[in-house]
Amino acid sequence: MKRYVVGVDVGGTNIKLGVVGPSGEVIVRNSFATKPFASHRNKLIAALSREIEASIITAGLTRRQIAGVGIGLPGLVDFEKGAVRFLPNIPGWTNVPLKSILQKTLKLPVYVDNDVKMITLAESQFGAGRGVKNFVCLTLGTGVGAGLILNGELYRGEGNAAGELGHMPLNEQGPRCNCGGWGCFETYVGNRALFGLASRVMKKPGMTTPMMFALAKKGNKKALFYWKTAAERIGNGLVGIVNLLNPRLIIIGGGVSHNEKFLFKTITATIRRRAMRLQGRAFKIKRAEFKDDAGIIGAYVLVMNAQR
Ligand SMILES: [Zn+2]
């Protein structure tokens, strides 16, 4: 029986692999650094193929027990054609037919998708979004992204590019953004913006969100003010999404979400204050259930859904 999936989560820093079983359990894990392969695309593809084979063996499984391989990548991925269109943080990945390349070497079905969509699928089937038909899964980090589950299905958009919540413009004259636009949500709540805000609030260069979290835990007033400001920024950016999509749940993941205590109440209050009445009452905020394994578990859901 084909009940297992090899999940691969390609990140700008690390590449994580895991073999996932039918209840979303990760039975084997492995990871390696992305940097040595950053400008060697073919070497990276060869390494992926090698590591996928190795993890099947480590898991004590045979190929016949593997339903397929799911690969999440940080960028624009054409799920239907199985091609990587563009990865902003890993050079050399423009229009790469990764699915067909790996299917030839692995002789297993391969599916590729955007990493935030995989995280959303994991939360939808096994995590905080279990049984919820309409939710937004927001990931906060260096980049800010989102996955949308609408009417119980992952919403992809025309080119599988829906969900770029980080690039929703909030300000006609805001700061320039990596995407080419300006005043985007990410320029206010991405790590770079939040680190900058931390340094300004503390009047000290080099401040980071983990440092601000530690200070807030000790009751530091400036740090508490900092988190209130950050939460208001996040909440303000989500008002339009709540009005537009009327979700039941907003799941928040990524590094900053560990500071739940200093964030979620203010985010909720900010949205309730500004959103339309009905939508503003209908939603709740929850922290993502999965951290490091989210992409790998999402790969399981992706492969199983594709073969349903
Ligand atoms: Zn942008």
Q: Ligand 1: distance of its center to the CA of 167 in Å?
A: 4
Report the distance separating Cα 137 and Cα 288, nearest Å: 8
**How many residues are listed for the chain in this entry?**
308
Asked if 61 and 200 sit in the same domain, the reply is: no
Amino acid of residue 195: F
From the CA atom positions of the chain, what is the Rg in Å?
A: 20
Question: What was the pLDDT predicted at 255?
Answer: 83
Asked if 52 and 170 sit in the same domain, the reply is: no
Asked if 135 and 111 sit in the same domain, the reply is: no
Q: Ligand 1: distance of its center to the CA of 189 in Å?
A: 11
Domain extent, residue 71, equals 4-119+292-306
Beta-ladder partners of 78 = 83
Tens-level pLDDT at each residue, the chain (308 residues): 789 999 999 998 899 999 999 999 999 999 999 989 888 999 999 999 999 999 999 999 999 999 999 999 999 999 999 999 999 888 889 999 999 999 999 999 999 999 999 999 999 999 999 999 999 999 999 899 999 999 999 999 999 999 999 999 999 999 999 899 999 999 999 999 999 999 999 999 999 999 999 999 999 999 999 999 999 999 999 999 999 999 999 999 988 888 888 999 999 999 999 999 999 999 999 999 999 999 999 999 999 999 98
Asked if 193 and 61 sit in the same domain, the reply is: no
Asked if 275 and 175 sit in the same domain, the reply is: yes
Question: What was the pLDDT predicted at 3?
Answer: 94
Q: C-alpha dihedral over 238, 243, 247, 252, to 10 degrees?
A: 0
Residue 92 lies in a domain: yes
Phi/psi-derived region of residue 219, left when phi > 0, alpha when psi is between -120 and 50, beta in every other case: left
Q: Ligand 1: distance of its center to the CA of 231 in Å?
A: 19
Asked if 93 and 235 sit in the same domain, the reply is: no
Residue 302 lies in a domain: yes
Question: What was the pLDDT predicted at 257?
Answer: 84
Question: What was the pLDDT predicted at 172?
Answer: 92
Q: Ligand 1: distance of its center to the CA of 160 in Å?
A: 17
Asked if 71 and 144 sit in the same domain, the reply is: no
Asked if 283 and 149 sit in the same domain, the reply is: yes
Asked if 158 and 143 sit in the same domain, the reply is: yes
Question: What was the pLDDT predicted at 90?
Answer: 87
- Looking at residue 170, which CATH number applies to its domain? 3.30.420.40
Residue 124 lies in a domain: no
Residue 19 lies in a domain: yes
Asked if 283 and 296 sit in the same domain, the reply is: no
Q: Ligand 1: distance of its center to the CA of 161 in Å?
A: 14
Asked if 154 and 269 sit in the same domain, the reply is: yes
Q: Ligand 1: distance of its center to the CA of 186 in Å?
A: 6
Asked if 101 and 158 sit in the same domain, the reply is: no
Q: Ligand 1: distance of its center to the CA of 177 in Å?
A: 5
Structure tokens of 245? 């999509």
Q: Ligand 1: distance of its center to the CA of 290 in Å?
A: 26
Please report, for the chain, how many H helices and E strands are present, in that order: 10, 12
Q: Ligand 1: distance of its center to the CA of 115 in Å?
A: 18
Domains held by the chain: number: 2
Parallel/antiparallel/unpaired status of strands 4-10 and 66-73: parallel
